[in-house]
Amino acid sequence: MKRRKTIPDHRKKLGEAIRVRRKELGLSQEGLAEVVDCHRNFVGRIERGEQNPTVDMLMRFSKALQCSVTDLFSEADL
């Protein structure tokens, strides 16, 4: 509610792909945050598309999610 800007569609799609993959692995947001080594809130923000992640961060997420960054973007149809 604090953000005024509209969330870009591509970020919503990427966030959703990350959420789907996380659930496939049976991980909670907290569990994923622990593997990625970031705050749990950050995972939530990524999944909702509120955060604009960098490539370095996406590499950490994809490793934690045991897939490639290509897989995540492909799943997000981006």
Interacting residues toward a second copy by CB under 8 A: 8, 10-11, 14, 52-56, 58-59, 68-70, 73-74, 78
**CA–CA distances in Å: residue 78 to residues 39, 52, 72:** 26, 15, 9
Residue with smaller CB distance to a second copy, 42 or 73:
73
27: which residues sit within 8 A by CB, 6+ positions away? Answer: 35
Residue with smaller CB distance to a second copy, 35 or 73:
73
The nearest distance, CB 2 to a second copy, in angstroms, is: 19
Residue with smaller CB distance to a second copy, 28 or 66:
66
67: which residues sit within 8 A by CB, 6+ positions away? Answer: 21
